[in-house]
Amino acid sequence: MLDDLELACFAVGPFVQNVYVLVGSSGKRAALFDPGFGIEEVLAFLDRRGLGLDLIVNTHGHIDHVAGNHLVKERTGARLAIHPADIPYLRNLAAQAAAFGFDVPSSPEPDIALEDGVPLVFDGVEIGVIHTPGHTPGGTCLAFGGRMIVGDTLFEGGVGRTDLPGGDWDVLVASIREKLFRLPPEVVCYPGHGPETTLGRERLTNPFVSDAAVGGREKERS
């Protein structure tokens, strides 16, 4: 069962971004999500467990989620996946790094183009791909069983910022409400920063995209 698969979370780096490792059905292969800064800790975990890495998945192209792409690819040879709309972020990684005072190796080109509705498959696991633009044009959520890695699309009590290049508030709200909130409310969401939450909780209480928040804004405009 997909809900029984091990999912390990590492909150690492100066941005305290969450890096996730999903262990496949054999218990010997893994997929890694959003290797940003501090990725050595995660690589050490893979080594200790004797896990071979099949996939590197970027939920989006911001530096805190892709800074470790080069090192992970170099160490493991795993295939790199990202939505095509966010490839420009990878190719502009040096400028992203310079803006924060970092020196980061260039990201390798992706091997896999994430496509909405086309699942990723590794080690007997099928991962659903949901394109959720707004935080970035290529923001993507990855679903397996009753769990979903949501990157910086949705947080506990918050949403991804849209004031950076490529962000769009209206698009982000539509992604969350028209795609994510149509999924079962008990789906557990694992965000790029902070603790896990559920779709039902966020639809009920999130001050930005809950039914009450969005309904209130619509009344103000009418």
Topology of domain 2-221, per CATH? Metallo-beta-lactamase; Chain A (3.60.15)
pLDDT along the chain (222 residues), means of 10: 92 97 97 97 98 98 98 98 98 93 95 98 97 98 98 98 96 98 98 98 98 77 55
Domain boundaries defined on the chain: 2-221
Length of the chain: 222
Q: Which residue has the tokens 């590492």?
A: 10
pTM of structure: 0.95
pLDDT value of residue 3: 84
CA distance 38 to 21: 14
CA distance 170 to 175: 9
Say if strands 52-57 and 158-159 run parallel, antiparallel, or are unpaired: unpaired
CA distance 217 to 43: 45
pLDDT value of residue 18: 98
pLDDT value of residue 117: 98
Q: Where are the alpha helices (DSSP H) in 39-161?
A: 40-49, 63-66, 69-76, 87-91, 93-99
